[in-house]
Amino acid sequence: MGLDIGALDRAPDAIPKPGSKRNAGNQSKRAAGRVGGTELYTLYNADAFAWLEAREPQSIHAIVTDPPYGLKEFSESEKAKLRNGNGGVWRIPPAFDGFRRNPVPRFTVLDAADRAALRDFFARFGRLAFRALVPGGHVIIATNPLLSHMVYLPMMEAGFEKRGEIIRLVQTLRGGDRPKNAHDEFPDVTVMPRSGWEPWGLFRKPCQGRVQDNLRKWGTGGLRRLSEHEPFSDVIRSAPTRSEERRIAPHPSLKPQAFMREIVWAALPLGEGVILDPFMGGGSTIAAARALGYRSIGIETDAAYFSTAEMAVSALAQLKVERASLALNRVGGKGVATKGTKAVARSKSSRVR
């Protein structure tokens, strides 16, 4: 018994009739990406929570996302400071060896009210994600060592099972600084360790019965192996996002395609279903799904970033990347033919809604 793709087609359209209650979260700009005549991904310029509230329950098979933390760094005032180069909660690092470095948010500046808002944000997200996912569906969510506990607890309270963490090993320039304005006085002191890893929380909506039963009914419950002989690993060696990718999608939190394709690949154990990124940003999750031949939906509330993703997804998806596992270069999703890393969906794939 295979995955019930028809269940997705029985769901209401993503843009209901004007005036209906379900229209509240979807009065937004919509863009679709087609491959070989098949709609493989759909993008919405909308509020993620409103969209999720309007979404048909049990119609998403996995969520892969890098959310805003406490909303503060992506508030209108902070985004304006970032775009003007004025910093704010965003730290604009000095040039290093003649190269301009990318801005990073300073999570150490969050106060008690910011942290309370952060917990409320993920509590609401957890409830809505739990409702939208099919049984056995996974959430793979980016976080950081300072705030991960404030993400994980609300997710578990919403009903998710914590299935571990995926560790992205990446050397960055975050941390490792001497005391501010006292470098010469304390030359042998580092305030915080230099960051060499990034945690991604791994959660699962409980299965209906055994994993094998859930796989037969919903196509979810496990993670897709990299190959017949290699299971998906919770430690992935990565590199900072390449300048080529940043030129295509200039978003401050853009993740590299080599890493994103690995975790997106794992999110659909049978290679079937729909992946959602409710905080799409520059479109790296959707591009990874597109490259693998997976169907996906991306939501972004910021109009400028939505336009970036709209233009960038196809270009990012066509990039060739060096992978830890050659298996992902050789094969695509079920129902997908590949040539290199570019996937072409066969006509039997269902329309994304």
Residue 353 lies in a domain: no
Indicate the number of domains in the chain.
1
Full domain range(s) for residue 126: 6-72+110-345
Q: Is 84 exposed, middle or buried (0-12, 13-18, 19+ CB in 10 A)?
A: exposed
pLDDT band at 34 (very low <50, low <70, confident <90, very high): confident
Which tokens is 261 given?
Answer: 């394709």
Element at 265 (helix H, strand E):
helix 257-267
Residue 102 lies in a domain: no
| 91, 134, 187 from 63: Cα distances, Å | 29, 11, 44
Closest CA to 108 of 46, 174, 171: 174
How do 60-65 and 274-277 pair as beta strands? parallel
CA distance linking residue 201 with residue 349, whole number of Å: 29
We report the CATH number of the domain holding residue 163 as 3.40.50.150
Question: What are residue 135's phi and psi, to 5 degrees?
Answer: -55, 140
Instruction: Give the pLDDT confidence of 111-146 residue by residue, as tens digits.
Output: 788 888 889 999 999 999 999 999 999 999 999 888
Instruction: Give the pLDDT confidence of 321-344 residue by residue, as tens digits.
Output: 976 454 555 444 343 433 333 333
Residue 129 lies in a domain: yes
Residue 89 lies in a domain: no
Instruction: Give the pLDDT confidence of 278-297 residue by residue, as tens digits.
Output: 999 999 999 999 999 999 99
CA distance linking residue 246 with residue 43, whole number of Å: 20
Q: Please name the amino acid found at residue 175.
A: G
Residue 11 lies in a domain: yes
CA distance linking residue 257 with residue 17, whole number of Å: 36
| 92, 118, 146 from 111: Cα distances, Å | 20, 11, 13
Residue 95 lies in a domain: no
Residue 65 lies in a domain: yes
Closest CA to 226 of 332, 335, 141, 136: 332
Contacts of 104 (CB under 8 A, 6+ apart): 90, 91, 93, 172, 174, 252
Residue 302 lies in a domain: yes
pLDDT band at 352 (very low <50, low <70, confident <90, very high): low
Total number of residues shown for the chain: 353
pLDDT band at 5 (very low <50, low <70, confident <90, very high): very low
CA distance linking residue 253 with residue 214, whole number of Å: 34
Contacts of 326 (CB under 8 A, 6+ apart): none
130 against 88, higher pLDDT: 130
Instruction: Give the pLDDT confidence of 192-238 residue by residue, as tens digits.
Output: 898 899 999 999 999 999 999 999 999 999 999 999 999 999 999 99
